[in-house]
Every structure is written in C-alpha cells, then in structure tokens.
Homo-oligomer: A and B are copies of this chain.
Amino acid sequence: MPLIVTGTVGIDTVHTPHARAEKVLGGSCTYFAAAASFFTQVRVVAVVGGDFHEDYHAVFRRFPNVDVSGLELRKDSRTFAWGGRYLDDMNQRETLFTELGVLGEHPPKPPRKFADSKFVFLANSHPVVQRELLESFPQRTIAVADTMNLWIETARRDLDDLLGKIDGLVVNDEEARMLTGKRNPVAAGRKILETGPIFVVIKKGEHGCVLVHRQGVALLPAFPTERVVDPTGAGDSFAGGMMGHLAAAHSKDADIGMGAIQQALAHGTVTASFTIEAFSLDRLATLTRDEIARRYTEFQTMVRV
C-alpha cells in the first residue's frame, strides 16, 4: 500500500568524539524514507531551499523506491539546517545551531496524485501542520505521528486534537513522561491510548522500545551495535523501517494488530542499527535487503526466550 511521509529534509552538521560530517543530507523525512524504501515504495512531502544542491538530490537517487516528486523547492529560501555535537558516550547530544529556513514558512502542499496514500507517517512538526497534512490524505487507513517536547509544552491542545485523529504515536521515553506525567513507559503508554491512538511506541534509545497497544504490551531491545559512528536519524530510520514493513506486509488489509506491529518494530530496529554505523545516509545507501534479512534472523536468535 502506498506509504507517505511528511516532515523535514535538512542539512546536518554532526560532530562526534571521533569524527565530523559537515553539511550532509539529514532530516526526519529523509531517514524515514530511506529506511522504509527497503520494504515498500515511499512518498516524500517536504520542502527545501535554493541551497539544496545536486549532491543532496544524488543521495536520494540511491534509493529508487523513494518518490521525491513531492519535495517542494523554494529557490529564494534556505533549507532547514541543524548542527549537533554528541558527547562522550554518544547517548547525549547538544545542539550547536538551528536555522529554520523554509521550516519558518508555510508547510509544503502534497501533490494531488498523493491523495490516495493509505499509510501516512507525520514526522515531527507543529501539530497543527501535522493535522493539516493528515487531511490531505482522505483515503488513509493508517496514520502514525511523531512529536517532540517543544509541542508538548507549547501546543498541547493542538497535539491532543491530533492524538484523537491518529492510529499510532511514536515518542521517546522523555516525551511520553512529559505527555502523561508517568515515568513507567507502560503506564505512560496506557494513558496515551486513552486519548485516541490504537498503539504507542515508546523509544528508549540504546535500551530498545516498549509497544503499548490496545491488545497488550510488547518489549523490544535495541540491536547491540558495538561501533556507533553517528546516532543521528536512528529514531527516524526505526520509524521508517517499521512503517515500511507494515505497509509492505499488509498490501490489502491494514493489519495493525499486536503481532504485525511487533514484527514491524523488529524490522525498524534492524534497519536503524545500520543507519548509525555511518554518518548521514552513507550506510543505508549501500544496504541490501539481504543484509537486513540476515540481521533480522540474528536479532530473532538474540531475543528468543
């Protein structure tokens, strides 16, 4: 089923204790789409500026399943740019700079031909923008959203409104706590379900994730990557692998029962574990379905009880 993602395509500058990458392709939409493209066709709705040069487009072309015809170009504006530095253990980062550029303007308008999208992922953005984008896909069967602490603090009513309209939410443990006041992920997840969604995925970084679903609770460790080069995009690749697998596995019906989501989360986990082995999209650009399948089998063995 057609999968669409709305969110950010940006230019990242990343410093780690071991290396750095200057002005490389990044953004939630980018990582999501690249990861999802191993499982299904994926459509991108985002906006970039005049500084989004040919090299960045060339990266997208390495993912033939990614349809970038919904990538809007505004020649007189600048692409969203972000700089960050990871500290010692790669589990904490500080923002060096944020240049909103096109993100400070009106949101992109999805092409009409994308109106038949069935699986919708709303990457992080103001909840009002997310809701407007959501309404561009009237034939959707499954909508899942991401959010961030900023909107939980400053746009809570709009976010609550969005929660009533989506099927799934993906947040990290800190966001889940801010949203509910509950530290325990299962308790937090249950409280979020009361506001509308069928399932919530609570990401715990290197500690994996917790799925709280109307049908029950599931737990998934992260893949134990020993050599993390750059954690940027791990969460978005995880969401992309999950949604891509869901959309591919259920081409006719839209099964978002516990079992389907658990399998999808495992594929998201495995895909994200490749992302962090290199800067930007470098590792995903050389990744094959076979490598994903092999690591998935390895992961299954690791978590059997």
Q: Which residues of B contact A266 (CB under 8 A)?
A: 305
Q: Which residues of B contact A208 (CB under 8 A)?
A: 207-208, 219, 221
B-contacting 9-mer, from A115-123, A184-192, A274-282: A184-192
Contact A304 B210 (CB under 8 A): no
Task: Give the one of A89, A259, A301 with max B CB within 10 A.
Answer: A301
The reply to whether the CB of A292 lies closer than 8 angstroms to some CB of chain B is no
**Partner pick for A224 among B185, B221, B265, CB 8 A cutoff:** B185
CB distance from A189 to the nearest CB of B (A): 9
CB distance from A242 to the nearest CB of B (A): 12
What is the bound-complex CA distance between A183 and B224, given in angstroms? 12
Contact B224 A302 (CB under 8 A): no
C-beta contact mask, A157-186 vs B, less than 8 Å → 1, else 0?
Answer: 000000000000000000000000001111
Q: Which residues of B contact A222 (CB under 8 A)?
A: 219
What is the bound-complex CA distance between A204 and B186, given in angstroms? 18
Interface residues on A, range: 20 to 34
Q: Which residues of B contact A226 (CB under 8 A)?
A: 184, 186-187
Contact A301 B185 (CB under 8 A): no
The reply to whether the CB of A303 lies closer than 8 angstroms to some CB of chain B is yes
CB distance from A244 to the nearest CB of B (A): 16
Contact B218 A302 (CB under 8 A): yes
The reply to whether the CB of A124 lies closer than 8 angstroms to some CB of chain B is no
Q: Number of copies of this chain in the oligomer?
A: 2
The reply to whether the CB of A217 lies closer than 8 angstroms to some CB of chain B is yes
**Partner pick for A302 among B89, B183, B219, CB 8 A cutoff:** B219
Identity of the chain B residue whose Cβ is nearest the Cβ of A89 in the assembled complex: B183
What is the bound-complex CA distance between A208 and B217, given in angstroms? 15
Q: A204-B207, A207-B204, A207-B207 are in contact. Are A224 and B304 (CB under 8 A)?
A: no
CB-contacts of A248-286 with B (<8 A): 259, 262-263, 265-266
Q: Which residues of B contact A184 (CB under 8 A)?
A: 224, 226
Identity of the chain B residue whose Cβ is nearest the Cβ of A265 in the assembled complex: B305
Identity of the chain B residue whose Cβ is nearest the Cβ of A183 in the assembled complex: B89
The reply to whether the CB of A299 lies closer than 8 angstroms to some CB of chain B is yes
Contact A186 B224 (CB under 8 A): yes
**A–B Cβ pairs within 8 angstroms, 14 of them:** A89-B183, A184-B226, A186-B226, A187-B226, A204-B207, A208-B208, A218-B301, A219-B221, A219-B224, A219-B302, A219-B303, A220-B221, A221-B221, A263-B305
